Amino acid sequence: MNHRPARLRVPGRVLLLGGGSEIGREILLALDLPPGCEVVLAGRDEQRMAVAGADLPFRVRTAYYDATALESHQRFVDEVFAAGPVDLVVSAAGVLIDQELLDQDPLRAGLLVETNLTGHVTTLLAVAQHLRRQRQGMIVVLSSVAAVRPRKANYVYGAAKAGLDAFARGLADSLHGSGVRLLLVRPGFVIGRMTAGMAPAPASTTAAAVGAAVAAALANCSTVVWVPRSMGVLAGVMRLIPRPLWRKLPR
């Protein structure tokens, strides 16, 4: 896919929250970042981040970041920005856990919500403070089609994504006029490590396709992108399905 590169200051700095994320890595590769750009991979799994960053064509460093350690997020973000301005923040931390396991383990369900929602909130509010002072910058938030309507097969995950989706839309409005832009990304079922062993859903996509769509959306100054694009239409249909039929869906 041909697209104009997103506008970053040269050489530019990028922070990827969820440094081992497959989608996050594909976004970095699709962005056509300038030579000398520094990418900070932030996550808990040092080995996974080392593998993810090994062949990235940028200056890469890793930093420990735990999305569930809420009290650490302000300090972590302050330290990242203290090392220099940040042009792009990709918020990609997330986990997907089988609903049957969550039904048996409410604490685990709570940790899923902290990873997929609360951690984004505490981290991105700290990020927004710095980007407002910079008067420029971009934020990419990974939501999901699961945010559209809760399903019995993944309602905890869907609830967390719905909260994140609403938060991101509100944050985007609060940043309007500040010079900071936010792109909300709503992929459908993404074939990859997180969904390994699951049968692909209709209109499934790949991490590489999400990366390409994000790069094009940033270049076009879009505020929301569905991946694939047809997922937006499908989501509209999903909202109209009567509840007795909706609850019969296998997943």
d(C-alpha 56, C-alpha 102), whole Å: 35
Cα–Cα distances in angstroms (integers) from residue 72 to residues 64, 119, 123, 187, in the given order: 11, 10, 9, 29
Respond yes or no: is residue 64 known to be catalytic: no
In 3-state terms, what secondary structure has residue 150?
A: coil
- Rounded distance between C-alpha atoms, residue 219 and residue 202, angstroms: 28
Name which of 181, 184, 147, 141 is nearest 163 in CA terms: 147
Q: Quick one: which of 128, 236, 116 has its CA closest to 165?
A: 116
| CB atoms closer than 10 angstroms to residue 165 | 20
**Residue 61 exposed, middle or buried by CB count within 10 Å (0-12, 13-18, 19+):** middle
50: tokens are 């080392």
- Supply 229's token pair: 């694009």
The catalytically annotated residue of 64, 65, 155, 157 is 157
Number of neighbours of residue 46 by Cβ within 10 angstroms: 14
Cα–Cα distance for residue pair 163/99, rounded to 1 Å: 18
User: Phi and psi at residue 10, in whole multiples of 5°?
Assistant: -90, 130
Catalytic (active-site) positions? 157
